[in-house]
Structure 1
Amino acid sequence: MKTVKRASTPVAPLDTRPTPEPTGDPSQSTTVHITSNSDFSLILPDTPGELIGDAEAHGKSYCTPGSSAPDCINKFGEGFITAAAYEASDDGAYVQVTGCIDPTKFHLDPTDGGGQFDVRYPNGAQCTYGGYGASFIEL
């Protein structure tokens, strides 16, 4: 039996950069932080009753009532966060908080199905821990 060698196919290096890249100049009004299950912020609609998807381009950062973030202007109302769990990787690659909300304790539209804010929208959104972030809100 004759063995035929084939030329190897060149493989492009794996692109491990996170996407999407942030847009706009950084703004404190759209900066999020996650320090613990009781000290974090999310980007949410700033206009009462506005749908999350409609507020994507101009949402604002809201923090837990006892937040340690010195630049946090907007706070969630007491009882808005009904449960929260904090997790961070050992190597610092990610940090996250997941949980439950009571939409009646904030100015969300109760008929809204939810939506997403990330580092592309609103412009200037950023994370204090660096890197990229997203807020997924489901009602």
Structure 2
Amino acid sequence: MTKSIEVDEKIFQDAVKFYSSMLNIPPLASKIYSYLIFDFEKIGIPFDEFVEVFSASKSSVSTSISLLLSSQLIIDVNKMDERKRYFFANDDYKKIRFEKIVQKMKDELKLLDDLKNFRKIHNDHEEKKMEVYQSLLHKSIINIQESLNKL
């Protein structure tokens, strides 16, 4: 089997390192995800190609694909006339990722409000710093949500 797509080795290695760190995924999962981002024409990559390209066991590839699917980093498609599943990088993942970030910031704001309301001793200096931080979170949420609406 030959590669379905052309991959630049340097960019690929940089992507593997970046996504492994940023997404906190194992090396093989990072390789599969990085490989898929080179599928610019969206032809889809079959399971067997990952096994061959990465010289990995079917079990390891299957585990990594399951992780990527459950993380919504990739999607799979069964073509009408074939039994094979084809895998693609999930184009919606960027939006999903930032929606999760916004939710975490909102959760943090609620926690900070709860702590502020619970606090019995007041320190104007600390409260001022907290207000600045909460303002930053609010502005970031608004900025990200505006950008997400454009996606």
Q: What is the TM-score of this pair, normalised by structure 1?
A: 0.21
Higher helix residue share: 2
Higher strand residue share: 1
Taking CA–CA contacts closer than 8 Å with sequence separation of 6 or more, which of the two structures ends up with the larger relative contact order? 1
Larger Rg: 2
